[in-house]
Amino acid sequence: MSLQPHQKETGNGPSENSPTASRSRLWWLIVPLIGLLAGGGYLYWGGKPVPAAKQGGAKNAPQVVPVVAQAAGKADVGVYITGLGNVTPLNTVTVKSRIDGQLMEVRFREGQTVKRGDLLAVIDPRPYQVQLTQAEGQMAHDQELLRNARLDLQRYKLLWQQDSIPKQQLDTQETLVRQYEGTVKVDKGQIDSAKLQLVYSRITAPISGRVGLRQVDAGNIIHASDTTGLVIITQLQPITVVFPVPEDSLPLVLGKFRSGTRLTVDAFDREQKQKLATGQLLTIDNQIDPATGTVKFKAVFPNNDNVLFPNQFVNARLLVETRHDSVVVPASAIQRGSQGTFVYLVKADKTVGIRPVVVGTPQGDDIAITSGLAAGEMVVVDGAERLRDGSKVELREPGHQRGQGAPNGATAPGSPKGQGGQRGAVKGAGQKPGGVQQGTRP
């Protein structure tokens, strides 16, 4: 009877070597091991930040855009009228021979600057010296005839008073004297003509200027009727520029021109980058061209350095008036959109806002602002292509390359490496707020 409970207990419960007991012991070993690995992983990975791309909430965070900003300055801004002009010399002379003969000497060098009266060439003078000698001999002969006729006239007057000759003979002698007097005058004219031909045999410069290329060589026979001359002389100092101006700008210029105001005109090269010379408005044409609606202006330049060349095309810029203390910003700050021209204004909280502006006259690398902006306000001059109204910005130093805004060479947020370079930043580095640029008047 005492053996039955023992058998029941051993028959119903698991034995120590059964499979169930082995699996239970194995789980007790695995669970602590998993906990240990999880703790180590947490300690290893828990200190590292999760990448922004894997953070669900960071996708909607505002992006900080690095930009270069500059304060709007003040400067004296000139109001200009521009036009494509042509350099025109005041005088251009084609030197020709006024007599026929052989060209004996050429006394000038091609490209030489000559003064009025300088000897340029010599034509063989011997034929005209012979003509002068003949004219002088003929005059001596006729003068003796005249002297003899005058002596006879004195005798005839005395005889007529004595009633020894008729009055007709006296009148005839008086007529003969007057004839000889006329002949002597003709002889004088022949002598003067021969002397003038000798003067023409020495060709001199009629004006001061620069000599062009020689058209005839020494030894050739030249004629006064030749269509081509010996050389062309062009006056270079002073020189003028003729340029057209729209008729709408004429009243403003006429008012100042008639009042005696000296209007300054600058001549620039074709690219309008280099100023060649500075002159003054000389005159205005007397009519408007109906085909183009423009009127021609002529400006005069001293051209002491001969930088202006005849028939050269230049961009003439006429200064009409100067507006003092105008607001100016770099031209790179001006943006254009469907709402017109605007700038990105940097606010105190390092955000930007769109500010509509009215632009005025360009002043080299700057541009005048007529309205919409005050001096001292910060505007974005580089990096505006990635901005929107309300964008968060980070100010960079002028000349700082994009992609180098973060420390230790890390890429700045929103600035992929290799894009943008120094575009706009270098331009901003050379500009100072309120600085006088090309075209501004200090």
Structural domain ending residue among the three candidates 272, 307, 322: 322
Return the CATH number at 408: 2.40.420.20
Total domain count, the chain: 3
Token duo for residue 102: 């052989």
Residues 329 and 268 in one domain: no
Residues 300 and 329 in one domain: no
* 331/188 Cα distance (integer angstroms): 78
Instruction: List CB contacts of 148: < 8 A, sequence separation 6 or more.
Output: none
Residues 164 and 247 in one domain: no
pLDDT of residue 77: 83
Return the CATH number at 129: 1.10.287
1 part of a folded domain: no
345 part of a folded domain: yes
pLDDT of residue 46: 54
Element (H, E) at 190: helix 167-200
DSSP string, 299-346: EEE--TT--S-TT-EEEEEEEEEEEEEEEEEEGGG-EEETTEEEEEEE
Q: Which residue numbers in the chain have pLDDT < 50?
A: 1-15, 50, 52-58, 401-442
Structural domain ending residue among the three candidates 273, 303, 322: 322
Residues 351 and 419 in one domain: yes
Residues 332 and 417 in one domain: yes
Residues 346 and 301 in one domain: no
285 part of a folded domain: yes
pLDDT of residue 366: 85
Return the CATH number at 281: 2.40.30.170
Whole-model pTM? 0.61
* 442/438 Cα distance (integer angstroms): 10
41 part of a folded domain: no
Residues 304 and 344 in one domain: no
Residues of the domain holding 394: 64-77+325-436
pLDDT of residue 337: 85
Q: Which residues of 167-183 are buried (b: 16+ CB within 10 A; e: fewer)?
A: eeebeebeebbeebeeb
424 part of a folded domain: yes
Degrees to nearest 5, angle at CA 234 with 231 and 240? 160
Q: pLDDT tens digits, residue range 271-327?
A: 888 999 999 999 999 999 999 999 999 999 999 999 999 999 999 999 988 888 889
Residues 167 and 249 in one domain: no
Residues 310 and 329 in one domain: no
* 329/90 Cα distance (integer angstroms): 41
Q: pLDDT tens digits, residue range 258-269?
A: 888 899 999 999
* 220/102 Cα distance (integer angstroms): 6
Residues 391 and 306 in one domain: no
Residues 339 and 424 in one domain: yes
48 part of a folded domain: no
185 part of a folded domain: yes
229 part of a folded domain: no
Structural domain ending residue among the three candidates 180, 200, 220: 200
* 419/417 Cα distance (integer angstroms): 6
Residues 311 and 363 in one domain: no
